[in-house]
Structure 1
Amino acid sequence: MASAPEEILQLFRQHYPPAKLSPEGWILLPKPQVAVVYQPLLSPATDLNRPPVIQIPEYLQGWSTRQLWEDHWLYKQPIVQSRLLSLIGYTERVHGRQTEARRIDQPSAKDFLDQNHILGGTKAKFKYGLFRGEELLAAATFSAGRTMTEAGREGRSYELIRTCNRLGTTVVGGVSKLIKAFVREHQPDDIMTYVTRDWSEGGMYEALGFERIANTDPQWLYVDPETQQRRFLPRGEDLPTGALLCWYPGNAKFVKRFEKP
């Protein structure tokens, strides 16, 4: 029976034969210079004061890296496979100008995100989708506005909570188009968002004019054996029987500010 890294390697090699497995267990994609490391879940007996440290081989300096934890590979494999294949460009590319941005309702947004976003859907105040005809190809959800004071000035701040494409699809310029649709209707003073650091350093958001302002702290999570969902460690309580641990590297926080006339 093939190991998980070997299964991932075979997935890549179906469409990108140069993919290879390093002696240290990294899946290497030479042309895009991306390396993927598979992380097994950890025993609840793990010393929480000694979180795992990923050793990046010296020859991978300058490469982009991705961490793939066992629970996502086991329980969210269609989403993970789509994300992996997009690294080698194996995706249907649809230009944003071929789509129309429209509001969508909460059930539609949650269903789309549950099927296509690694973290699934969540409640949001504002929901937008990109449609090709009546085909929903991408979605973004935003929080309600909050009044924030910065440098002595008050402004309305919103959070971009989730955004993703349909599996196997990339809408080129899609995130930008979704944000512009939101901005036209709500005139925010700023929009902030979080990027999971195990998969991205947020280059896409920097290209859209967002500024990286902080990193959240890494933290331990456990995988609920019944729901297969990640949860925060309970304080002063035992873990559920069969629960396993993962070390989440935290998020990068980004903000985009808008000048008003």
Structure 2
Amino acid sequence: MGFECREAQKIAGIFTVFHIFKNNQNRLALVLIDLDVWANENAVDKWPACIQHVQHVRDSGLTTVVLWEDFWLNKKEIVRSRLSAILGLAHKIPARLTKVRRIDKETTDRFLAENHLNGPVSAKYKYGLYLPASYYRVLNEMLTPEIGSTEMLVAVATFSYPRIFNKETNPLRSHELIRFASLRDCNVVGGLDKLLQAFIREKEPGDIMTYADVEWSAGASYNKLGFKKIAQTQPEAFYIDTKTMQRKTETGTASEVRENDMEIRNMGSIKFVKQILN
């Protein structure tokens, strides 16, 4: 495919950056976070320099992704899929060929566990995009629908209960877009927009809010869908169990932190809002 990956530099002397090239064109800067290095190199103090570097590289126009070791070890196939999509290698499925409808919790949780880096979480409204069997011809040889199936679930979006705000004396129903995921190794072109429009038609929200994970993007895809950036959250603390490589949020008292828990930081999130009704 003409791709080349090589180490480019170190950030703050410890965070490794690889540049991925396609036909001598720089396409992606990948910042790798080694947990042994994080533990032994006082990385928390150097984390702001890494955040600043990522922002600087993105401002120059180069797509940049920050990848933690635990995500690679636990969810390698999902990571590979997302990187392939960023590099334009994912198999494309036109959303216009799909049908959208509400789906149940079991179907949603199973799909998100297999296709979303952060897995399923509680949500009120759940929608899926289904590719009818009459269009299976657009699938490549790596995607094999179940024998005898009449359709294939290729994307999912979930939304929260509404929050009611009084805005200039009029109530406004605000929902959160909590999760969106396409089938691994696929890019459902126009998929999120189609799911959003189905939700808007059914629930008539005043606005829809969502967050972009700074480690993976600056939210350009949300901008294209009419979302506006309104805030950016600060980095948050998490713990990783170094034996199981499982994450948990920083909750409870210090006495609940176990011997195997390693404190890490994320890069925060960007908050976006799409105004629907005036």
Q: Structure 2-normalised TM-score?
A: 0.81
Distance 1:151 1:227 in 2: 50
What SS is found at the alignment partner of 2:209? strand
2:129 corresponds in structure 1 to 130
Aligned pairs (5 A) from 1:1-261: 15-24=1-10, 25-30=16-21, 31=25, 33-41=27-35, 42-43=38-39, 46=42, 50=45, 52=47, 53-54=49-50, 56=53, 60=57, 61-133=60-132, 134-225=151-242, 228-234=245-251, 235-237=253-255, 239-259=257-277
**Given that residues 205 and 277 in structure 2 are in contact (C-alpha distance below 8 angstroms), is that contact kept between their aligned partners in structure 1?**
no
Distance 1:208 1:44 in 2: 42
Pick closer, same or farther for the CA change 1:136–1:47 going to 2, 3 Å: closer
Distance 1:32 1:96 in 2: 29
**Given that residues 32 and 88 in structure 1 are in contact (C-alpha distance below 8 angstroms), is that contact kept between their aligned partners in structure 2?**
no
**Given that residues 32 and 87 in structure 1 are in contact (C-alpha distance below 8 angstroms), is that contact kept between their aligned partners in structure 2?**
no
Distance 1:120 1:58 in 2: 26
Letter aligned with residue 82 of structure 2: R
Number of positions where the alignment pairs a residue of Structure 1 with one of Structure 2: 245
Structure having the larger proportion of residues in helix? 2
For residues 33-89 of structure 1, the C-alpha deviation after alignment (integer angstroms, 9 at most, x for no partner) is 3201101223299586x3523173999543221100111011111111111111221
What SS is found at the alignment partner of 1:107? helix
Letter aligned with residue 26 of structure 1: V
Pick closer, same or farther for the CA change 1:227–1:207 going to 2, 3 Å: same
Q: Structure 1-normalised TM-score?
A: 0.86
**Given that residues 9 and 18 in structure 2 are in contact (C-alpha distance below 8 angstroms), is that contact kept between their aligned partners in structure 1?**
no
Q: How far is 1:154 from its partner?
A: 1.6
Identity %, equivalent residues: 36
Distance 2:199 2:127 in 1: 8
Letter aligned with residue 78 of structure 1: E
**Given that residues 145 and 157 in structure 1 are in contact (C-alpha distance below 8 angstroms), is that contact kept between their aligned partners in structure 2?**
yes
What SS is found at the alignment partner of 2:238? strand
**Given that residues 28 and 87 in structure 2 are in contact (C-alpha distance below 8 angstroms), is that contact kept between their aligned partners in structure 1?**
no
Distance 1:198 1:152 in 2: 38
Q: Where in structure 1 are there 5+ consecutive unaligned residues?
A: 1-14
2:147 corresponds in structure 1 to none
**Given that residues 19 and 26 in structure 2 are in contact (C-alpha distance below 8 angstroms), is that contact kept between their aligned partners in structure 1?**
no
